[in-house]
């Protein structure tokens, strides 16, 4: 079997890719490790999510009091005046008053108690506490509450006067008419939950930003817009996670000023995340070449989402709810399109379709539920934002892995094609074009370093006689046999080429004439003593060899090759089956014969 060829850096890449009998073996190992890291990260985040629900909640009794504005505070109703017990805060967009009846402190709620509101994303809540003359307001982005709480919970630390239980009035309004359930928990328990949720949001946003930077680096390295789209998709996903959780307003300098346009910023981050994800899908699934109609449909969704993003900034401090609805509807419309195209790509044998399905399925199922809750179509008190954040991380990670594998496959195929173009199809050695390029590199290095470089020119003796008497098939076997013999003797980094017909050339960087002459004599003797055994008999071979040395600073590849060819001619003239070394330019005979 012909040994691995040493062409150049691409040839080294070919050998590395084919090592171990499986193309991409090293990358496959890297892919497995990356997948393991992704799953470990996701499991850790899911564990944090599960443990974040550990706050010990106490039961509250809710009763609707009056449908009045916040400046018209009603009196506390008696038991007969209050309405029936409710499970959620809801009613009109304009707002109304509610009576909350609190249980007394239990042993689990030491250190104070926290009243917080789940899924109150668009709600405005005012509490009339015993120790306050005015209402204590809570509203996501504008007045989310103390920094130790979860931004979306709108937490309120209740005064000690309510430890024994009692009632308080609450004003509630929500433009989306979404149901909101107030919760009551001990301060220490709530702080643990808050810390875990904050860790999830910050970790997810950080992971997305890191993957965005990595994708941007790959985009610069490979000049592939797919990486750029993936980088922007990941960056805007990170912006959405960190803004929806509210941590951006606390962590970033000037975050409080950003809170004045918080809703517009959050919606824009979500919209642009969808835009660049669809642009990425278009390139990743090759829809422009495969599915022009689907590509046009995705373009319509992209432009529609961009218009929605712009509409959010017409009134950035109070963007219209219709814009949020339009953006969410576009997400829901894009989901089936992407899934259908991923399935068709998978049917066509494209591995990218599988990666899209693996990436989008868990993320978008959660996202659909999240949108339904945000729009008030689904009433659930399960906080899906941590799961949505984890789903985004998993989605970008899987797509990054899929894009990396696809890029590596294309590069490996290109390298294999380039390598084959540099090889002689009969012997598997370098062809003449590849040898010329390699000699230019070696001669330039020899001029720079002053190191020796010797060229060996070999010709099989009486090859025409072999072809005429035994046939061209045996002649081809002789050439392959000769190529294997030469490759088994020279060093791993010595380029071996079939120059044409029965002529072979070996470049010997780092070897002076003495060492090269000894190596040439070894090759000559090995050829003479290692006949080719065929089914029709044994073929004995002999070869003539010519050597020339590179003249540092005053030589060219053509002149060095001409001297080696002249030395080979002398070897033929003097009786064949011998090694001849060309003398320095200007010598009387031009060559010196080794006998």
The CATH number covering residue 34 comes to: 1.20.1070
Cβ pair 369, 423 in contact under 8 A: no
Q: Number of folded domains in the chain?
A: 3
Is there a domain that residue 474 lies in? yes
Q: Tell me the per-residue pLDDT of 403-439, one tens digit each, with 9 for 90 and over.
A: 877 777 777 777 777 777 788 889 989 998 889 999 9
CA distances from 100 to 77, 82, 573 (A): 11, 11, 113
Q: Give the mean model confidence (pLDDT) for residues 451-473.
A: 92
Beta-carbon-side half-sphere exposure of residue 170 (alpha carbons within 13 Å): 28
Is there a domain that residue 529 lies in? yes
Query: Are 167 and 221 found together in one domain?
Result: no
CA distances from 325 to 176, 177, 268, 388 (A): 10, 13, 13, 18
Cβ pair 124, 139 in contact under 8 A: yes
What distance in Å separates the CA atoms of residue 69 and residue 171, rounded to the nearest whole number?
8
Q: Virtual CA dihedral for 521, 527, 528, 533, nearest 10 degrees? A: 170
Query: Are 387 and 525 found together in one domain?
Result: no
Is there a domain that residue 19 lies in? no
Which residue, 427, 478, 438, 450, is CA-closest to 561?
438
pLDDT score at 364: 75
Which of 368, 389, 420 terminates a domain? The answer is 420
pLDDT score at 7: 31
Examine the pLDDT at 66 and tell me if it is beyond 80: yes
pLDDT score at 536: 80
Which residue, 233, 343, 326, is CA-closest to 279?
233
The residue segments making up the domain with residue 319 are: 30-48+192-420
Query: Are 283 and 362 found together in one domain?
Result: yes
Query: Are 368 and 462 found together in one domain?
Result: no
What distance in Å separates the CA atoms of residue 281 and residue 339, rounded to the nearest whole number?
10
Which of 397, 420, 443 terminates a domain? The answer is 420
What distance in Å separates the CA atoms of residue 486 and residue 241, rounded to the nearest whole number?
63
Query: Are 39 and 68 found together in one domain?
Result: no
Query: Are 526 and 393 found together in one domain?
Result: no
Which of 398, 420, 442 terminates a domain? The answer is 420
Is there a domain that residue 20 lies in? no
Examine the pLDDT at 584 and tell me if it is beyond 90: no
Band the pLDDT of 250: cuts 50, 70, 90.
confident
Which residue, 388, 395, 274, is CA-closest to 331?
274
Q: Give the mean model confidence (pLDDT) for residues 208-213.
A: 92
Can you give the CATH number for the domain in which 534 is found?
3.30.70.270
């Amino acid at each position: 079997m012909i040994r691995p060829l040493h062409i150049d850096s691409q040839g080294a890449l070919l050998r590395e890719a084919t090592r171990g009998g499986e193309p991409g073996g090293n990358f496959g190992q890297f892919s497995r490790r990356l997948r393991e890291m992704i799953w470990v990260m996701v499991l850790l985040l899911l564990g944090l999510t599960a443990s974040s629900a550990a706050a010990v909640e106490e039961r509250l009794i809710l009763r609707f009091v009056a449908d009045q504005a916040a400046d018209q505070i009603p009196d506390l109703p008696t038991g007969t005046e209050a309405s029936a017990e409710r499970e959620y805060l809801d009613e009109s967009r304009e707002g109304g008053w509610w009576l909350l009846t609190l249980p007394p402190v239990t042993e689990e709620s030491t250190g104070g108690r926290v009243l917080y509101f789940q899924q109150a994303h668009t709600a405005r809540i005012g509490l009339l506490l015993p120790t306050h003359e005015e209402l204590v307001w809570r509203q996501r982005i504008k007045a989310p509450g103390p920094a130790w709480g979860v931004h979306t919970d709108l937490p309120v630390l209740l005064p000690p006067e309510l430890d024994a239980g009692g009632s308080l009035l609450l004003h509630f309004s929500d433009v989306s008419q979404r149901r909101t359930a107030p919760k009551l928990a001990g301060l220490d328990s709530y702080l643990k939950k808050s810390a875990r949720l904050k860790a999830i949001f910050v970790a997810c946003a950080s992971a997305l930003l890191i993957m965005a930077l990595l994708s941007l680096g790959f985009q610069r390295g490979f000049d592939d817009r797919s990486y750029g789209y993936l980088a922007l998709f990941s960056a805007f996903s990170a912006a959405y996670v960190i803004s929806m959780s509210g941590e951006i307003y606390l962590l970033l300098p000037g975050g409080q000023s950003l809170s004045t346009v918080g809703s517009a910023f959050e919606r824009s981050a979500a919209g642009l995340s969808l835009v660049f994800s669809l642009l990425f899908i278009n390139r990743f699934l090759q829809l422009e070449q495969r599915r022009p109609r689907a590509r046009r449909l995705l373009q319509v969704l992209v432009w529609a989402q961009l218009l929605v993003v712009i509409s959010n900034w017409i009134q950035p401090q109070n963007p219209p709810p219709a814009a949020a609805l339009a953006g969410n509807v576009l997400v829901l419309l894009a989901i089936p399109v992407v899934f259908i195209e991923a399935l068709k790509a998978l049917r066509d044998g494209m591995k990218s379709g599988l990666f899209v399905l693996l990436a989008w399925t868990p993320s978008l199922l959660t996202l659909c539920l999240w949108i339904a809750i945000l729009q008030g179509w689904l009433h659930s008190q399960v906080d899906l934002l941590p799961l949505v954040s984890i789903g985004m991380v998993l989605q970008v990670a899987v797509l990054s892995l899929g894009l990396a594998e696809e890029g590596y496959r294309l590069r490996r195929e290109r390298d294999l094609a380039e390598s084959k173009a540099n090889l002689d199809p009969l012997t598997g050695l370098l062809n003449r074009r590849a040898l010329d390029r390699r000699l230019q590199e070696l001669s330039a290095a020899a001029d720079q370093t002053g190191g020796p470089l010797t060229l060996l020119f070999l010709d099989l003796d009486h090859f025409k006689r072999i072809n005429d008497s035994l046939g061209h098939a045996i002649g081809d076997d002789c050439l392959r046999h000769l190529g294997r013999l030469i490759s088994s003797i020279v060093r791993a980094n010595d380029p071996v080429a079939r120059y044409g017909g029965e002529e072979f050339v070996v470049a010997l960087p780092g070897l002076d004439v003495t060492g090269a002459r000894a190596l040439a004599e070894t090759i000559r003797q090995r050829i003479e003593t290692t006949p080719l055994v065929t089914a029709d008999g044994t073929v004995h071979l002999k070869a003539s060899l010519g050597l020339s040395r590179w003249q540092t600073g005053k030589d060219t590849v053509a002149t060095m090759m001409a001297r080696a060819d002249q030395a080979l001619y002398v070897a033929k003239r003097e009786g064949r089956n011998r090694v001849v070394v060309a003398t320095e330019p200007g010598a009387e005979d031009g060559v010196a014969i080794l006998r």
